[in-house]
């Protein structure tokens, strides 16, 4: 019997599907420091972002045949080394795209209409300073007609573009590998409206975007630096629902303080799970605790996609 350790959990839908196919799924959490002595009892391991599968752990587990990431990013796995040891690495890039894209727009709308700020102030001041709060938060902006720059135009970037087009925004995507994509916006009563979006140069996107949203893996260094922020429009909004470290947090704070950056939406941070207090307490940052793929629907889809890929792997092998 093939044994699978779902060390960071798996949605019941995926677990049920795997067990129906005859797999044994163990959802008992094993601490990172104990994995080297216990993971070798399993044929496969399912992780999210909490569990790290590095070279030393791979070396300690010669029986391991498959590493499955319940999500998109593979930053916590030494992928090339695992594959060099004939261990297959899979993820679920399709299952959570809509969830992450919707969260990015939650932050954009929060920023544009001061939603995060007014929600903080209303409980403490709403009954005594209602008119003052109304005046403070009456200069919001609409997204229709604004330009959205997308850093990364894969599945999540394209899903974000789909929402943006539906809201009447102009979209400027950048990507190192994708030149263009057909984006179909679902419209009730029709077969949808398809728009072909071509990627643009980094400089064009940076200079012309009112909002910039990141949808890329961590690439070893920040993609948004002080130099990039200096090139942006005054009053730009930056949203990061991709990976901590893709935005230089010190540069972002400086941009916020100078007014160059009007606001930021952050779902991910460099030092998770202990983000900088300066970010958490900043009055112009909309915050969430790395929940991009954490919806009921997305988690069910991830579980089912994992189950299908794991089944296919072991049947083929």
User: Could you give the residue numbers annotated as active site?
Assistant: 243, 272, 290
Given its phi and psi angles, is residue 89 left (phi above 0), alpha (psi -120 to 50 degrees) or beta? Answer: beta
On whether the CB atoms of residues 90 and 69 are closer than 8 A, the answer is yes
Q: What is the Cα–Cα distance from 231 to 238, expressed in whole angstroms? A: 13
Instruction: Yes or no: say if 169 and 147 are a contact pair by the CB < 8 Å rule.
Output: yes
Q: Cα separation of 291 and 271, whole Å?
A: 16
Give the closest residue to 242 by CA, choosing from 77, 86, 96, 61.
Answer: 96
Distance separating alpha carbons of residues 110 and 265, to the nearest angstrom: 8
Burial of 62 (0-12, 13-18, 19+ CB in 10 A): exposed
Six-digit token string for 255: 């941009």
């Amino acid at each position: 019997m093939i044994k699978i350790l779902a060390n960071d959990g798996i949605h019941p839908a995926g677990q049920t599907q795997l067990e129906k196919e005859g797999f044994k799924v163990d959802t008992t959490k094993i601490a990172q420091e104990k994995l080297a002595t216990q993971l070798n009892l399993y044929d496969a391991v399912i992780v999210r972002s909490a569990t790290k599968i590095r070279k030393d752990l791979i070396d300690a587990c010669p029986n391991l045949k498959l590493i499955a990431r319940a999500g998109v990013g593979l930053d916590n796995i030494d992928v090339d080394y695992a594959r060099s040891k004939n261990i297959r690495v899979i993820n679920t890039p399709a299952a959570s795209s809509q969830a992450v894209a919707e969260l990015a727009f939650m932050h954009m709308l929060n920023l544009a209409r001061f939603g995060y700020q007014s929600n903080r102030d209303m409980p403490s001041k709403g009954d005594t300073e209602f008119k003052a709060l109304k005046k403070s938060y009456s200069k919001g902006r609409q997204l229709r007609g604004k330009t959205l720059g997308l850093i990364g135009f894969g599945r999540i970037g394209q899903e974000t573009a789909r929402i943006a087009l539906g809201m009447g925004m102009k979209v400027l995507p950048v990507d190192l590998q994708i030149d263009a994509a057909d984006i179909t916006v679902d419209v009730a009563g029709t077969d949808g409206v398809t728009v072909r979006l071509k990627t643009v140069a980094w400089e064009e996107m940076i200079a012309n975007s009112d909002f910039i949203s990141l949808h890329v893996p961590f690439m070893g260094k920040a993609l948004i630096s002080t130099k990039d922020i200096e090139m942006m429009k005054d009053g730009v909004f930056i949203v990061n629902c991709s990976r901590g470290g893709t935005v230089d947090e010190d540069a972002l704070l400086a941009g916020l303080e100078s007014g160059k950056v009007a606001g930021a939406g952050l779902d991910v941070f460099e030092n998770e799970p202990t983000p900088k207090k300066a970010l958490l307490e900043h009055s112009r940052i909309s915050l969430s605790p790395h929940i991009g793929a954490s919806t009921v629907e997305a988690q069910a889809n991830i579980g089912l996609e994992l189950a299908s890929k794991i089944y296919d792997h072991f049947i083929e092998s």
